[in-house]
Structures are given as structure tokens and as C-alpha cells.
Amino acid sequence: MMGVVFAKTPKGQDEITSKAGGLTPRVRRVLIFVDGKRTVDEMRGMLQADDLQHTLGMLEEAGYIALPNAASSQPLPSITAFGKLPATHDPVRLQQARNFMMNTVNAFVGALGASSLLDRIEKADSHPGLRDLYDEWYHAIVMSRDGKREAEALRSKLLNVI
């Protein structure tokens, strides 16, 4: 992953000049640094973005950036890609994912600041239901002072079970 190089798509090039996508200044700055030559590691050294991988994944999913070999027969998976869903409902894995999300929100954000999110995580009765809450969970973690430093590690741990 760290040696991965992204390039701007035509949509990404347009965004630089038009600002039509309404990207936040921070996300826009990451897009500007994507040049088809710099690796994710090199960008991490240049940008003060604790959630660089998540931001790149968001830009990729929105079509602003792509892997230069995206047209080849062996495209690399998205960096925010979830694993394959279990073939049959796996209540143990679902509970692990639910517990992880709830515990990390409680630890880094606090129950008071995220009670609505915690309620929805607790009520999610499927992996797709938890996956729908992933972006909100990640944002809550990244916005907390201590969570910002741990966000990448927490994200990869959650992606293993969700």
C-alpha cells in the first residue's frame, strides 16, 4: 500500500481548476499532491494528514483519483475496501465488529459526544448495516484528539472484522 501511486483522473483535474466538487480545503490539498509520481508514503511525509489513507480512499471512490494501472486486467483493490462478507451470517464476527466500533467510539470520543452513533452501531444487525456506519465512525475517531493519532491503526483493525 505504501508504495502505491495515485494519479488524478480527468474529474480530479477539473476539480483543481473548477472547485465544483465542494471539497474541503484539507481534502483538496491532498488531491493537489496526487501527481502520478509520489507514493502514499511520500505524500504522508509532506502532508500533515493523519487520515491520509481514508482521504485518498474517499477521493478514489468519488472518481477524483485512480491507480495509473486501473485500466489493466489486474486492478488493485480500493484502499478503503471492505473484505468479502461471510457467506453465511456470522454472529460472532458481527458482534466483534460491533464491539470494536462501540469500544473505540467510547474510548476516543466518549459516550456523550456520540450517543446517536453508538445507538445505531448497537442496533445494526448485519455487516452491511455496520459498513453503512463506517464513514461516520471513522470521522468521529479522526475528529477526536487522541483518535486522530490512532485512526489508521484502528481503521485497519476494523476492516479485518467488518
Please state the domain extents for the chain: 7-66, 91-161
32-70 as b/e: b if 16+ CB within 10 A: ebbeeebebeebbeeeebbbbbbbbbbbbebebbbbeee
The pLDDT tens digits for 110-162 are 877 788 889 999 999 988 888 888 888 888 887 887 887 788 788 888 888 88
* pLDDT at residue 80, rounded to an integer: 56
Three cell numbers, residue 65: 483519483
- Which pLDDT band holds residue 64 (cuts at 50, 70, 90)? very high
Task: Provide CB contacts within 8 A for 38, sequence distance 6+.
Answer: 5, 46
If pLDDT is split at 50, 70 and 90, which confidence band does 73 have?
A: very low
pLDDT at 1 over 80: no
**pLDDT, position 109:** 85
pTM exceeds 0.85: no
Q: In the structure, what pLDDT confidence band is assigned to residue 81 with cuts at 50, 70 and 90?
A: low
What is the structure's pLDDT at 21?
A: 87
Q: What percent of the chain has pLDDT over 90?
A: 12
